[in-house]
Amino acid sequence: MTQTHDLSATRMAAAVRTREVSPVELTDHYLTRIERLNEQVGAYATVTADRAREEARQAEKAVMDAADPADLPPLHGVPVPIKDLNMVSGVRMTFGSSVYADLDGFADDSVVTLLREAGSVLLGKTTTPEFGLPCYTESAVAPPARTPWDLSRSAGGSSGGAAAAVAAGLAPVAQGSDGGGSIRIPSSVCGLFGLKPTRGRVSQGPVIPDLFGLSTNGPIARTVRDAALLLDVMARPMPGDLYAAPPVEGTFASYAERPPGRLRIARSLETAVPGAEVHPDCVAAYEAASELLAELGHEIVDLPPMLGPDVLPHFVTLWGVMATVTPVAEESEHLLQPLTRWLRGHGEATTAPQLFQAHAALQGALRAAFPVMDEFDAILHPTLAQPPVPIGYFHDREPAENFERQTKFTPFTAVYNISGQPAVNVPLHVNADGLPIGIMLAGRLGGEGTLISLSAQLEEARPWIDRKPDIWTA
């Protein structure tokens, strides 16, 4: 029997406008599931139940009062949670840290403003690790985010709560952010489609600075069309943004309806992380995706060497400095997680010349790499080097080992944060244990449309929407 949370966000939005489903019904359904299941999944740090119900009532009144409900905004009455790294005015904001456990948001992030203008209903704030730094979501302010496919395993990070919410049926779609893989990693381990847009496509403002351009907001969804719909809402430049993405013809949603044509796709299992070994399950997903792409008529070639292990130390330098950007009073530093203190120590020890040298070295490497990458319409990798790992696999280790394990778990993702290119996780594969194994496709700068068209083609060829964890029917 179809349940409310079986509906895609695109179908929900259409059903609200035709008055088949009410925003109040949708919101109550998700709040009931959150109340029952969130403790198991660790998806939400804060649930805004009263606010959500009031927004849903207002949305329902707007539907009933509208002369033509088709004119309502694209997400009218659809519940959408916000990651706890993004500020919502008047809502608790922790950054995943005990340091900020008592902070209330004093402004709306630009992406929150746009989602509100699109008519969405705020269910709450999804869990994130401290300051969004690790690739897993375990903190001192909320339960660990667990993949609904195996509750003993991590949902990834740093958008782990967002992915856990969507995969467990606690939200139809979610906003996430990605500075080194933080949308694609949890999408892979939770069996979802996640899209990191081109640098500058979605504003980081007004509170979070762009700085090196590594991080961006983006959608996490069960279907390609839902992610494209959410990206259309998010993708508006704002005053003060440091970066601007190339323009796109038409809507992102329209690309999900067009065939991609015959593409030239490069593929690679090589990583920029010394000692990273790709698990056989991840290799199997990569090979199966290569075969499927060839069956669909695309030209598949091996990617020539481009960015090697020499770029990793420069990225780590930037990551350590980024860890220092969130202000922490000296008397509160003891509240920080060991990994955060370790990363901030590296960042604080970095001199300004060292920082600029690292940034310059990365740009120099990219100048050589882009002519190679731009020969292809898309580039295929495994999303991760390993299947989903147990809770504590990273967090229970000393910081140096913790960080090394993270780099070996995610050796493919950060390259496209360095370059600013769009990249997606496509949930094509499941291993013998029933765990999701994603594949990653990266595109040219400004090439989200091509990735959406290609991903929609893959989704049609190997549908994944009916694969659901046991908790889905709870």
Residue 146 φ/ψ, nearest 5 degrees = -115, 140
Q: Exactly one of 22, 110, 139, 158 is catalytic; which is it?
A: 158
Cis before 206? omega within 30: yes
Q: How far apart are CA 210 and CA 216, in angstroms?
A: 8
Pairing of strands 264-267, 299-302: parallel
Say if CB 149 and CB 190 are below 8 A apart: yes
In the residue annotation, 468 being an active-site residue is answered as no
- Residues 120, 159, 182, 203: which is the catalytic one? 182
209 phi, psi to nearest 5 deg: -75, 150
Task: Provide the CB-side half-sphere exposure for 192 (13 A, CA).
Answer: 40
Is residue 188 among the annotated active site residues? no
125 is an active site residue: no
**Residue 301, C-beta contacts closer than 8 angstroms, at least 6 positions apart:** 264, 265, 266, 267, 376
The catalytic residue positions are: 83, 158, 182
